[in-house]
Structure 1
Amino acid sequence: MSMAATARPVLSLPWRRYLLAPVVLAIALMAGTAIGETVIPVDTILKVMANHLWNAGYPVDRIDAGIIWNYRLSRSIVAACVGTGLALAGVVLQALLRNPLADPFLMGISAGASTGAVSVTVAGLGAGALTLSGGAFAGAMLAFGMVVVLAHLAGPGGRGGVLQASGAIILAGIAGAQLFNALTAFIIARSASAEQARGIMFWLLGNLSGVRWDDVRLAIPAALAGLAICLWHRRALDAFTFGADSAASMGIAVRPVRGMLIATMALVTAVMVSMVGAIGFVGLVIPHAMRFIVGSRHTRLVPACALAGAVFMIGSDVVSRTLIAGQALPIGVITSLIGAPALALILIRGARLT
């Protein structure tokens, strides 16, 4: 057998799949921009993008240009970033905590963001210096800090074993979420008018209608940073799925790496939630679905979840804008309607395979 016959191709099959990811993402973004109450041709979208990016000067209807550039395109990009960030957070938490039900909202980040947003818009916290997104971000990070401190204090001397640490974080997250949810309800009941309460409740279920290019400039770096850190630590995530002892035996600094990964994913989640509100099931369902397709190795799982989360969120946003004529539903409603049955099927299939 010749060396040419035995040599591996320059681009193996996995890398070919990775090169297809940008194509799939571009198609999803085009679909999210084109589909709505008014369907816009793809060539019109490309002309508008060329006009704004390179001053191409193509003749385009002003209304179509405004819908594309000021509304749909920025909305689709933020949706993709949010899906990527939440899916990656789910992958990391499920690996580190060794809990298949762990998701980005496990640590009370969503509840804290909700309290921060309500405090700014209803209670007037910050005296106008904070925006809704700024208040949500501050609340998310406050909740995360409280959960970390509570989990640390819950262990014996803050030095519990792996399972003890995982259980402490889960219980601390549940306690934190309930506390901040109660604070949110109290602030709304005490200070909000009927119109304010309606707007806040819509935001709490996930809302992409208010995102603009300023949000894109924040969402893209957050999503890319989360993806880069997950890929850099993909072997550590593989080791953590077998426990901290396994990770330590491979020379991984367990405490610093675990703390850095959890803090990074909490920060990414806080950024996303501060822009679009609470969106459930993405970080829970996407990692499980991708494990059935690409396996449990994080070399493949991390990029697969990043892409699948982005496509899933774009698709959910399209459905939320088109399901009811003349009305946009909260995107969290769509993700829950899709995610709950999908999770049930995944759990049933997983039970049959074990």
Structure 2
Amino acid sequence: MTIAVTLGPVPIQPETVWRIALSHIPFFSEWVEADWSKAQEHIIWDIRFPRVLLGAIVGAGLSVVGVAIQALVRNSLADPYLLGASSGASVGATLVILFGAFSVFGQYALSFGAFVGALLSVIFVFFLSQVGGRISTVRLLLAGIAVSAILMAVTSMIIFAAPKEHAIRSVLFWIKGSLAGAKWDYLTIPALAVIAGTIVLLFQYRTLNVMLMGEETASTLGVNTDRFRKFLLVLTALLTGVIVAISGAIGFVGLMMPHIVRLIVGSDHRRVLPVSALLGAIFIIWADVLARLVFAPEEIPIGIITSLCGGPFFIWLMRRSSYSFGGGGR
């Protein structure tokens, strides 16, 4: 994180980065001598620090959501986009940006719109996937893919019908993901949501482990699989909506990080969840550095970087002889 903050059009030494950071902390500010310029302080504290922290929050959140969804469907090819959560959040956020929907919520309108879109899309997928009152994993996967495609088409239609041409570019940039709008005021809600969601899932790590053994085994061990799946669907919709509202739609993070972590630490969610959050945070921070610097002074959407990494990873994962947990869900 320190190195990421130092990189940019104006290079700044790591020592200066932390001296500026400590100067804004009440107890430490008395011991730090301000020997930097106002411009350096503005660049570090107002622009780069919140951007890097937002990247860490987004990366950790998407990775944790990926862990939950992969356990939900028992398939390591699953990610937040699979259940239509990201596509639904994109529809809600696009309506807010272009048409001012949910303006009654003020600065939280974007987050609320994205969450509502994510939740409604996940609920729709959930109902489509039910067979005889129970969720079918295969139908869940197929319904998620179909609903995602429909919602992305709806987002495109909204963009073309938008009366504000000047806002269309920002929406298109946002759809591919960006941390450019990071501000300190925007960090609180996503940070609390990701921390709370991760803690809740950590408390449920035993149930997540049991879910990997299959629905019948989980039921035999006393897990109410239908209720737990509903719980995971709502939680993943909430986290995805909050994250997409602040960063746009960033793909493949929830697919790659959990799988890489399972190769390193095994399938025990007590280890998978925190390590996935850590690796996801690191990955997004450096993907954003590349997005800022590759075509500097121009900036590209971070989703392009993650897709360039995630696409080949997905193909490799798909071509492996086995890509599911416990031999099911292929």
TM-score (ref. length: structure 2): 0.89
State the 1:281 CA deviation: 0.4
Of structures 1 and 2, the larger Rg is shown by 1
State the 1:191 CA deviation: 2.0
Query: Which one has a larger percent helix, Structure 1 or Structure 2?
Result: 1
State the 1:41 CA deviation: 1.0
Cα contact 1:112–1:136 (8 A) shared by 2:
no
- Aligned residue type for 1:39: P
State the 1:45 CA deviation: 1.1
Equivalence map 1:83-232=2 (5 Å): 83-126=59-102, 128-130=103-105, 134-135=109-110, 137-152=112-127, 154-160=129-135, 164=136, 166-232=137-203
Equivalence map 1:5-20=2 (5 Å): none
Cα contact 2:77–2:317 (8 A) shared by 1:
no
In 1, Cα distance between equivalents of 2:288 and 2:163: 28
Counting matched residue pairs gives 320
Q: 1:123 to 1:220 in 2, by over 3 A?
A: closer
For residue 43 of structure 2, what is the aligned residue in structure 1? 67
TM-score (ref. length: structure 1): 0.83
State the 1:179 CA deviation: 2.8
In 2, Cα distance between equivalents of 1:171 and 1:46: 48
- Deviates most, 301-310 or 147-156: 147-156
State the 1:76 CA deviation: 0.8
Q: What SS does the corresponding residue of 1:36 show, helix, strand or coil?
A: coil
State the 1:200 CA deviation: 0.9
- Long gaps (5+) in structure 2: none
Cα contact 1:87–1:284 (8 A) shared by 2:
yes
Deviation string 1:264-296 (CA, Å, 9 cap, x unpaired) is 122111110010100000001111111211122
Residue 43 (structure 1) aligned with residue 52 (structure 2): no
- Aligned residue type for 1:253: N
- Aligned residue type for 1:116: G
For residue 263 of structure 1, what is the aligned residue in structure 2? 234
Cα contact 1:48–1:58 (8 A) shared by 2:
no
- Deviates most, 181-190 or 309-318: 181-190
State the 1:228 CA deviation: 0.8
Cα contact 1:223–1:268 (8 A) shared by 2:
yes
Q: 1:159 to 1:342 in 2, by over 3 A?
A: closer
- Long gaps (5+) in structure 1: 1-28
Deviation string 1:131-171 (CA, Å, 9 cap, x unpaired) is 686235424433433432453355234235xxx2x223223
For residue 18 of structure 1, what is the aligned residue in structure 2? none
Q: 1:321 to 1:153 in 2, by over 3 A?
A: closer
For residue 24 of structure 2, what is the aligned residue in structure 1? 52
1:287 equivalent among 234, 258, 268: 258
Q: 1:168 to 1:250 in 2, by over 3 A?
A: same
Q: 1:221 to 1:147 in 2, by over 3 A?
A: closer
- Aligned residue type for 2:86: S
Deviation string 1:186-236 (CA, Å, 9 cap, x unpaired) is 221122444322111001000101011112111221111122122111111
For residue 300 of structure 1, what is the aligned residue in structure 2? 271
